[in-house]
C-alpha cells in the first residue's frame, strides 16, 4: 500500500490551467533554526497541511504539530520552526555553513535525518514545465505494452540511477516508473534491471556497456549520465556527447532496444568538486537525443522549476549530488510524462 501511494506522491505545482486546488505530497524541506523555509508552491489556507518525518505516511511516522513544532505563513508560502520544536535543526548538520566543501573531510555527511516532508494543497499560478510526449521515439515499446507483451527495461548510468539516497528500492525513480507502467498496462510484463554503477561517467559507461546493458537484451534502455562527467577533472562536453552517441549506436545495433536519454540536476553549489556547468551537460544530452532520434526526458529543467523557491539542501539526500525521495519523484514525474 505504501509503494502504491508512493507512485502518486508527486503531484507537482501545476496540473492543467484550472484554478482549483492541486496537491503536493511529500515535498522535502530542511529547517535552519527559526528561519522561514519556502515551499515550492504557496499552500491554501484552510486546506489540510501535514508535516511528517517520512516521505510517505507509514507506521511510526512522526507527524509534527502546527503551532507546537512549526508555524505557516500562508501568504509567503513558508514554514518556520519554532522554539522547542521536534523538527530537526539543519544547523547541526556537519556541512552547514561550509563553503567550497570537500565532503570527504566530513564523516557522517548527509541530510537523511534532517528532512521534513510536507503534504499541502495549492492553487496553480502558472504551468509547471511540461515534458513533451516522446512516444514517436518509442513505438516498439508502446506497442509491446499495449499488446500485453514483455518489456525489459535496463536503467544505466551513475549513482543517481543506481538509486543513490532513495530510502527504499521501490522509491528509485525508474522502479517507480516501471511499476506505474505495469499498473497502466496490466496485461503486459514489465521488468526493470538496475545496470547503473556509482561514480561512473560516460567513460566507464562505455566500458561497462556490454555486461550491464547489452548482455541483458533489453527492450528499452534508460540512459542517464552527466553528474560525474561534469565534475572537476571529468569528461569534456564534446567527448561526453560522443560517448553517449557510441552507447546509443551499440545498444541499437546489438539489441534493437529503444533509448530514453535523461538529463541530471545541478549538485550543491557549495560543493568543491562540481564545475557547476550542469546546464551545459543537460543541453548536450538533449542535443544527442535529437541527433540520434532518441526520447529525451528533461529532468534538468523540471528540477530547476521545482527548486526555484527552495534551498538546494531541501532536495539533496547526501547534501551533494543525490536526490532524496522527493527528488527521485521529480525524475519519476518527468519519465511518467513521456507518454507510455
Superfamily of 135-336 according to CATH: SGNH hydrolase (3.40.50.1110)
Query: pTM score, two decimals?
Result: 0.94
Report the distance separating Cα 199 and Cα 211, nearest Å: 17
Mean pLDDT by 10 residues, the chain (340 residues): 42 54 95 98 96 97 98 97 98 97 96 97 83 97 98 98 96 98 98 98 98 98 98 98 98 98 97 97 98 98 94 97 98 97
pLDDT value for 13 = 56
Strands (E), 44-94: 50-52, 70-73, 78-81
Burial grade of 161 (CB within 10 A; 0-12, 13-18, 19 or more): buried
- Owner of C-alpha cell 506522491: 9
Burial grade of 211 (CB within 10 A; 0-12, 13-18, 19 or more): exposed
CA distances from 221 to 124, 193, 303, 326, 338 (A): 34, 10, 22, 23, 14
CA distances from 198 to 3, 40, 74, 224, 227 (A): 24, 29, 40, 12, 11
- Owner of C-alpha cell 560517448: 243
Strands (E), 225-275: 258-262
pLDDT value for 124 = 84
Rg (CA), the chain: 20
- Determine how β-strand 295-297 pairs with β-strand 258-262: parallel
Decide: 282 and 230 in contact? Cβ < 8 Å: no
Domain chopping of the chain, boundaries: 135-336
Cell of 337: 510524462
Amino acid at each position: 500500500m505504501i509503494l502504491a501511494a508512493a507512485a502518486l506522491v508527486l503531484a507537482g505545482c501545476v496540473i492543467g490551467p484550472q484554478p482549483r486546488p492541486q496537491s503536493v505530497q511529500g515535498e522535502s524541506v530542511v529547517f535552519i533554526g527559526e528561519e522561514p523555509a519556502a515551499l515550492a508552491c504557496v499552500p491554501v489556507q484552510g486546506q489540510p497541511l501535514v508535516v511528517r518525518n517520512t516521505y510517505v505516511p507509514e507506521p511510526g511516522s512522526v507527524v509534527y504539530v502546527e503551532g507546537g513544532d512549526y508555524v505557516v505563513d500562508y501568504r509567503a508560502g513558508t514554514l518556520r520552526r519554532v522554539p522547542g520544536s521536534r523538527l530537526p535543526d539543519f544547523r547541526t548538520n556537519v556541512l552547514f555553513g561550509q563553503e567550497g566543501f570537500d565532503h570527504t573531510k566530513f564523516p557522517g555527511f548527509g541530510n537523511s535525518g534532517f528532512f521534513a516532508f510536507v503534504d499541502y494543497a495549492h492553487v496553480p499560478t502558472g504551468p509547471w514545465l511540461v515534458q513533451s510526449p516522446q512516444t514517436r521515439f518509442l513505438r516498439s515499446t508502446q506497442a509491446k505494452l499495449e499488446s500485453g507483451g514483455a518489456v525489459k527495461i535496463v536503467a544505466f548510468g551513475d549513482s543517481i540511477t543506481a538509486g543513490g539516497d532513495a530510502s527504499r528500492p521501490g522509491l528509485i525513480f525508474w522502479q517507480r516508473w516501471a511499476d506505474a507502467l505495469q499498473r497502466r498496462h496490466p496485461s503486459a510484463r514489465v521488468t526493470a534491471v538496475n545496470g547503473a554503477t556509482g561514480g561512473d561517467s560516460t567513460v566507464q559507461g562505455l566500458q561497462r556497456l556490454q555486461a550491464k546493458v547489452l548482455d541483458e537484451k533489453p527492450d528499452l534502455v534508460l540512459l542517464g549520465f552527466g553528474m560525474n562527467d561534469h565534475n572537476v577533472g571529468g569528461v569534456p562536453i564534446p567527448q561526453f556527447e560522443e560517448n553517449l552517441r557510441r552507447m546509443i549506436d551499440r545498444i541499437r545495433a546489438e539489441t534493437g532496444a529503444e533509448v530514453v536519454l535523461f538529463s541530471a540536476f545541478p549538485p550543491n553549489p557549495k560543493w568543491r568538486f562540481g564545475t557547476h556547468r550542469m546546464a551545459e551537460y543537460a543541453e548536450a544530452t538533449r542535443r544527442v537525443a535529437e541527433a540520434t532520434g532518441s526520447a529525451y526526458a528533461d529532468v534538468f529543467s523540471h528540477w530547476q522549476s521545482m527548486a526555484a523557491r527552495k534551498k538546494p539542501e531541501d532536495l539533496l539526500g547526501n547534501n551533494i549530488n543525490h536526490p532524496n525521495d522527493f527528488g527521485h519523484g521529480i525524475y519519476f514525474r518527468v519519465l511518467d510524462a513521456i507518454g507510455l
